[in-house]
Amino acid sequence: MSTELEVQPQRTEFDSSKFDSAKADAFAERMVDWLNGGALALMISVGHRTGLFDALRGKAALTSSELASAAGLNERYVREWLGAMATGGIVEFDDELTELPTTNADVRYRLPDEHAAVLTRAAGADNLAVTAQFLPILAAVEDSIVHCFHQGGGVPYSSYPRFHEVMAEESANSVVGALGQHILPLVDGLTEQFERGISVLDVGCGRGLAMLALAERYPRSTFIGFDLSDAAVAAANLQASSSGLRNVRFEMRDLSDFHNDAAVDRRRFNLVTAFDAIHDQARPDHVLIGIQKSLAPGGRFLMQDIRGSSCVHCNTEHPIAPFLYTISCLHCMTVSLAQGGMGLGAMWGREKALEMLHEAGFTKVTVHELPHDIQNYFYTAEQ
């Protein structure tokens, strides 16, 4: 019996003379792939959060009971999770079996090293299981997003209780881990300035991992981070305190009127950074103007933001464009709209970013691409 899907056109809805059955069948097959892929992404998130991938890494084939014991988890749930992983081709069955096991509890599974290289914490920046966590977070606000489709408005940051936690984990891999070797060298002489001592502001700091890492590495420099989330700011200050760092602090700040913010000393900062944060702001135009005004003479702005074009037609070959547009619709765009903001979204694009940087008063802007990072551009800007 064939397992291929065949789509029969409904004559009352489609013109059968123009209906391409082969095209319909091919699309139906793709739909099945997407359903399986979406389901596996949820289970990959579970595997990451529970440590199951890490428990499997480098091990001989394990039964569900052995894996559950190694990870300190409930066997029944581990067994069902393994069912998804095995049928999805993520874990493999023991290839030394001479006959099929009597029950599922007797089946042995292994995680190939090639898969562990992008699924375990040992993989560092290559661990895509970290990113899979965003999907269940976004799915949790689906009802609210559907309401916004009908009524407009947005979904506030408070509706995403784990977002900053996952962003911090993602940042630890993609930003903090790349600071010394890849990101800081984009700004000429920056490392030497850090060592002599400069004043740095991080806009949209989240849990502050980047500033915490720099503060520890460069004790002569001072660092401050602003973020709208009081929970993220509290976590950042707690980490600074527990690490004994006195040259870094974090403040909860709505930057919608940053261009008119008298509380920030003008021309104070030698460097301002914004890591994957500007497009989320209610008024990114005001934030960029405020950043330009807050820079000391000769100061520079370093901005990481999503790699893409402002034109959707130019993003069709982008390897993760559907994922980025989805995050944009279900988080980045809507949290801005919830504040009555512009709702630029994650895919505001290089063209719009350059336009807004120039309008904010930056006369010299350079766009950098890092070979290992398919998701981000890095902008360096001067007054």
| Span 322-334, pLDDT tens digits | 999 999 999 999 9
Write down the pLDDT at residue 373. Answer: 87
Q: Is the pLDDT of residue 350 over 70?
A: yes
Q: Is the pLDDT of residue 190 over 90?
A: yes
Q: How far is CA 295 from the centre of its chain?
A: 28
Give residue 116's pLDDT band: very low, low, confident or very high (50, 70, 90): very high
Write down the pLDDT at residue 135. Answer: 96
Computed over every residue of the chain, the mean pLDDT equals 93
Mean pLDDT of 334-355: 97
Q: What would you report as the CA-atom Rg of the chain, rounded to the nearest whole angstrom?
A: 24
Write down the pLDDT at residue 100. Answer: 64
Mean pLDDT of 313-338: 96
Write down the pLDDT at residue 371. Answer: 86
- CA 19 – CA 9 distance, rounded (Å): 7
Q: Is the pLDDT of residue 27 over 80?
A: yes
Amino acid making up residue 78: V
Write down the pLDDT at residue 233. Answer: 96
Write down the pLDDT at residue 282. Answer: 95
Q: Cα-flanking dihedrals φ and ψ of residue 141, to 5°? A: -105, 15
Name which of 334, 348, 331 is nearest 285 in CA terms.
348
Q: Is the pLDDT of residue 97 over 80?
A: no
Write down the pLDDT at residue 4. Answer: 60
Mean pLDDT of 147-164: 95
Write down the pLDDT at residue 1. Answer: 42
Mean pLDDT of 277-301: 95
Give residue 5's pLDDT band: very low, low, confident or very high (50, 70, 90): low
- CA 371 – CA 369 distance, rounded (Å): 6
Counting Cβ atoms within 10 Å, is residue 329 exposed (0-12), middle (13-18) or buried (19+)? Answer: middle
Angle at 307 between CA 183 and CA 249, to 5 degrees: 45
Encoded tokens for 111: 């995680």
Write down the pLDDT at residue 10. Answer: 54
**45-54, 94-103, 290-299: lowest mean pLDDT where?**
94-103
267 dihedral zone (left: phi>0; alpha: psi -120 to 50; beta)? left
Give residue 14's pLDDT band: very low, low, confident or very high (50, 70, 90): confident
Torsion sign over Cα 224, 225, 228, 233:
negative
**70-74, 91-95, 239-243, 294-298: lowest mean pLDDT where?**
91-95
Question: For tokens 């940042």, what's the residue?
Answer: 171
Q: Is the pLDDT of residue 299 over 70?
A: yes
Amino acid making up residue 283: R
